A and B are shown apart, each in its own frame.
Chain A
């Protein structure tokens, strides 16, 4: 199977609560779900966002939703200080999911 960008196989949405982001990854086609399950490990996703997570890289969680062929990644600490205190341009982290779609699977 040739390597492609995740963006070709899946779409994504990012939400925020406090200083935690959650990024959903949803396969366009149900038959690609198992490929996402294998490729998008917690370690891969944590490594992709290593610079933003810093010491919080070990806290990343993954939930599986086979009925909607989707994964949900939870990244505590990635919104440094949370929406209300963050100095970041994108304090909500709304743009984070788009960065995940550049990962190779």
Chain B
């Protein structure tokens, strides 16, 4: 029976590159998928595109392509004998500019002497014009599109597998998209290769589980997992990225390249299955309402786990749209105290800064002053469970301001603690950043249409 081997080459935009190269070289893959878009990434990329029309795609696209393109296509790559699997790439690294990203991939292919490689871009996720035409649309945070005015940056619908399937049908070796639901990047090759119907909900649910398990790359092979003394992970610095071998029924075994670091077992798989999931019986994607509630994992060999029991129901009638907008500035400052009495001195420093913000009339919407090492992550109540006072404590003050000049004053008030604050404050840092916030809304499916653009590298 025909099987498909799909690897995961990135779990986020800045992810490590060499585990992806390892998969391309030794994974005997049919597809290598790079998932590189977090909630806010497209909004940031859209800002880059505004200042340069050829920008707006993933900053690591070029380097990743240089490293893995030599393994792509039929008969290419030293380890690839004739008649073996043909590697193709799928990625949302197009971000805010999939067309420019596809041109860049083609340019690199030519540079590497890989003539004849077909590169496709999938567009249609950008619905900014649609939203601007109906400014009365309301976001999940209660604001209307109209109220954002000039602060509105981007609006991208989560596309499903459809556009990618069309590109694969057109024989693309590399498919570059903008916003596509993460699991759909992995579901697309399964739909295409096995010819599943678009309403075969059970198989779509199974394929979506596989996509969901793979989409964060190292998070299923032992990343975000190690807890020394409780949960050990071998060779974490050499963490391998995962691959799934899938059959036409959507049954899959998750594994990684032999000799790579990390571990895959029922524990890592179970953690990743529930990652960013709310109701496990209703995981919504543009392709299907997937049901993970009956999933179980079974070890078949060392670092090989079979997943079974996923199901699916009809897909949602609406598509989620992520809307990026400018939302003021955050100013921040930090300073450290150490040795006996450090906690009391850091607390005094915190009080001084908060009083100074009032005294000097800094205008802010919200402020947070926390002690790193004490209460920054989990609050004061949980922080007080510590058995002993920490040797060192770092004060962090952050505030959101409508105005950049006001935000700058936050870090300044922390920095002046050097000469004006408690004894022994060191290592002060300060900074200010523009806030690109993200909210969402739902659009009917017929307002969004995926389009495929094909280019040959000749």
Q: Take A15-B275, A51-B380, A85-B327 as given contacts and tell me if A72 and B370 are in contact as well, using a CB distance cutoff of 8 Å.
A: no
A17→B182 CA distance, assembly (Å): 13
Number of interface residues of B (CB under 8 A): 53
From A7, A65, A85, A102, contact of B230 by CB (8 A): A7
Within A42-81, which residues are at the interface with B (CB < 8 Å)?
A: 48, 50-52, 61, 63, 65, 67-68, 70, 72, 74, 81
A65→B87 CA distance, assembly (Å): 36
Please tell me if the beta carbons of B367 and A87 are within 8 angstroms of each other in the complex: yes
Query: What are the residues of chain B within 8 A of A85 when measuring CB–CB?
Result: 327, 400, 435, 437
Please tell me if the beta carbons of B435 and A84 are within 8 angstroms of each other in the complex: yes
Please tell me if the beta carbons of A89 and B274 are within 8 angstroms of each other in the complex: no
Query: What are the residues of chain A within 8 A of B376 when measuring CB–CB?
Result: 88-90
Judged by a CB distance under 8 angstroms, whether B47 is at the interface is no
- A-binding residues in B (CB < 8 A): 39-40, 140, 224-225, 227, 230-231, 266-267, 270-281, 292-297, 309, 327, 330, 366-368, 370, 372, 376-382, 385, 396, 398-400, 435-438, 440
Q: How many residue pairs at the A-B interface have CB separations less than 8 Å?
A: 120
Question: Which 10 interchain pairs have the tightest Cβ spacing?
Answer: A15-B276, A24-B274, A51-B379, A13-B271, A87-B368, A15-B275, A87-B398, A67-B296, A99-B378, A68-B270
Tell me how far the C-beta of B247 lies from the nearest C-beta in chain A, rounded to whole angstroms.
21
Please tell me if the beta carbons of A22 and B274 are within 8 angstroms of each other in the complex: yes
Query: What are the residues of chain A within 8 A of B281 when measuring CB–CB?
Result: 63
Tell me how far the C-beta of A8 lies from the nearest C-beta in chain B, rounded to whole angstroms.
8
A74→B281 CA distance, assembly (Å): 14
Please tell me if the beta carbons of A65 and B379 are within 8 angstroms of each other in the complex: no
Within A26-47, which residues are at the interface with B (CB < 8 Å)?
A: 26, 28
4 additional A-B residue pairs with CB within 8 Å, beyond A15-B277, A74-B279: A17-B278, A84-B39, A88-B370, A89-B370
Please tell me if the beta carbons of A99 and B382 are within 8 angstroms of each other in the complex: yes
Tell me how far the C-beta of B145 lies from the nearest C-beta in chain A, rounded to whole angstroms.
17
Tell me how far the C-beta of B362 lies from the nearest C-beta in chain A, rounded to whole angstroms.
14
Query: What are the residues of chain A within 8 A of B276 when measuring CB–CB?
Result: 15-17, 22
Please tell me if the beta carbons of B309 and A67 are within 8 angstroms of each other in the complex: yes
